[in-house]
Structure 1
Amino acid sequence: MVKSLYLCIVMAKVPVIEQCSVSDKRNGHIMIEGLETYLQRNANLVFPHRHNFYHFVLFTAGAGNHSIDFERFEVEPWQIYFMSPGQIHIWDFEGEMKGYVVNFHKDLFKNTLIRTDYLSSLSFFSGLVRDGVFVVEEQDRELVREILERLHDNRQGIDYVTSSLFYLFNLLNLRRTPSFTAESNSYNHTLLRNFLNLIEANFKTMRLPRAYAALLYITPNHLNALCKELLGQSAGELIRDRVILEAKRLLIIKDYSVAEIAYELNFNDNSYFTKFFKKVVGVTPEEFRRHQ
């Protein structure tokens, strides 16, 4: 089914490993495969790695665990997980694994949807790991299986594939209760989504909530109250946690020195980065690396 799926070692400042091709004969932007076959072909992919495409897996049978951005989850039947490009992933599966794997390029929906931010508007592609792993509700399971089985069948054109994924994503998104919702105030929901997007784009160089508040045309107090109400964390904590996450991602790459990571994350010196990391994580960067 898949014409080309290979691993490439990514050097320079791009961490770990990326699976560089997601193509099948229908379109160079998507790959749909049975989980059992996928794992057989990627039997050596048991170390932390990241993807340069969107990725989701539905488990219909099997056990073990998997981690996304250092948060660990036990596998259970009908669990589904979603990953955005750049997230760190590792698995340790047990027994006979059944299910479906879908990898698709960020431009898959480019020519079919007017909204360019469609994927980031979905709760499970928000970048918050807690929203990306959940169990499909029993009432939806047969429909979800049917959609993925038809896609796996590989006899449908790309228009059918994109429309089916669009339907599947909307179905699952409607069933979800994300970490923050638009129920109380859609304006605040939009503000928070924009804040999270700004953090993702600027966390290496912008560390102060007031700088983000200025970009959002609100006061720092408003931004802080918004974050605490909808996510239970202050704006500063959300920025800090994103910096720490990137530090952890880089620390699992043995070729990076702690000094290089500090420089990459725009810290003035190695000692300041070490103090910052230990205060938040509880161990030094070197200790964290030794236990990975």
Structure 2
Amino acid sequence: MIRSKGEFKGILIQFTPSFFCLFKHRQDVSCNGVLFNNLYDTPLVRLTPAEADAQVMLTKQMRDEMNGHSDPDQDVLISYLKIFLINASRIKIDQQKEAVETQAAAPLATALKEEIEVHFRKIHNASGYAGLLHSTTSTLNRLSKLHFKKTLTNLIADRLIIEAKRELYLTAKPVKEIAFELGYDDEFYFSRFFRRQTGISPQTFRNTIGLYPAKTGGY
């Protein structure tokens, strides 16, 4: 979502997983979890004029490749896109380091993030993390809203959905198996949870962009 009080100009780059998969190429560009699928930080990168000029130049090269040839070279476009994402990731990581250095008053927020990463497959409720951190659900909820801009319940749900999408996209595991690995004994309950969070069923998500069709367990 972009909100503006007036008119503005911008460049929108859209690409599908079939063109460039963030999960498959996460080792190449290190942007998954930094620019994308980052639960704990706003997906915004502030650029200096020089950084903006460099990124705009890359978008011009992409446009030239797409418009200057009847059959644009996909490898060339992917190379430009990789450089664009690598540059943005480096800038974002540097900004995150600066934010950590200037926000020394958030040890509990860091601990909460770490506990979610370790336990999200087993603990799906706010009270579970309150117990782990010897805190209260209201305290953690306020902390989550302050540092991560969402309730703790939504933070946990978003982490589960990211993992579910990754499994549905990259593997041929039945939905039932994915649900079990994420701590759901009831496949149908998991499917309802997935639909409630994304607007579509796990099977529809897989059929739309998945690398492998599901053999069993669809819902």
- On whether the aligned pair clears a TM of 0.5, the verdict is yes
CA separation in 1, counterparts of 2:175 and 2:43? 30
Which secondary structure does the structure 2 equivalent of 1:134 belong to? coil
CA separation in 2, counterparts of 1:126 and 1:256? 22
Deviations 1:26-81 (A, max 9, x none): xxxxxxxxxxxxxxxxxxx945363698654xxxxxxxxxxxxxxxxxxxxxxxxx
Query: Root-mean-square deviation (CA), in Å?
Result: 3.8
Match of 2:189 in 1: 272
Aligned length: 158
Where does structure 2 lack aligned partners over 5 or more consecutive residues?
1-17, 54-89, 210-219
The verdict on how the C-alpha distance between 1:285 and 1:171 changes in structure 2, with shifts beyond 3 A counting, is closer
Amino acid at match of 2:107: T
Q: Does 1:227 align with 2:144?
A: yes
The verdict on how the C-alpha distance between 1:175 and 1:254 changes in structure 2, with shifts beyond 3 A counting, is closer
Say which structure is richer in helix.
2
Alignment of 1:40-59 (within 5 A): 46=19, 48=21, 50=23, 56=29
Which secondary structure does the structure 2 equivalent of 1:221 belong to? helix
The 8 Å contact of residues 130 and 140 in structure 2, kept in 1 or not, is answered as yes
Which secondary structure does the structure 2 equivalent of 1:290 belong to? helix
Say which structure is richer in strand.
1
Deviations 1:135-174 (A, max 9, x none): 64235689xxxxxxxxxxxxxxxxxxxxxxxxx8799327
Q: 4+ residue stretches of structure 1 with deviation over 6 A?
A: 123-126, 168-171
Deviations 1:256-291 (A, max 9, x none): 111111111121121111111111111111111122
Tell me the TM-score normalized by structure 1. 0.44
Structure with bigger RCO (C-alpha 8 Å, 6+ apart):
2
Amino acid at match of 1:275: R
CA separation in 2, counterparts of 1:175 and 1:220? 28
Matching residue within 146, 150, 172 for 2:94: 172
CA separation in 2, counterparts of 1:208 and 1:244? 14
Tell me the TM-score normalized by structure 2. 0.57
Alignment of 1:149-228 (within 5 A): 172-173=94-95, 186-187=104-105, 189-228=106-145
Where does structure 1 lack aligned partners over 5 or more consecutive residues?
1-44, 57-81, 88-122, 143-167
CA separation in 1, counterparts of 2:91 and 2:196? 39
CA separation in 1, counterparts of 2:173 and 2:131? 34
Q: Does 1:134 align with 2:51?
A: no
Deviations 1:197-220 (A, max 9, x none): 111111000112122122222211
CA separation in 2, counterparts of 1:137 and 1:285? 40
Which secondary structure does the structure 1 equivalent of 2:45 belong to? strand
Identity of aligned residues (%): 26
Which secondary structure does the structure 1 equivalent of 2:170 belong to? coil
CA separation in 1, counterparts of 2:160 and 2:197? 11
Matching residue within 189, 204, 213 for 1:287: 204
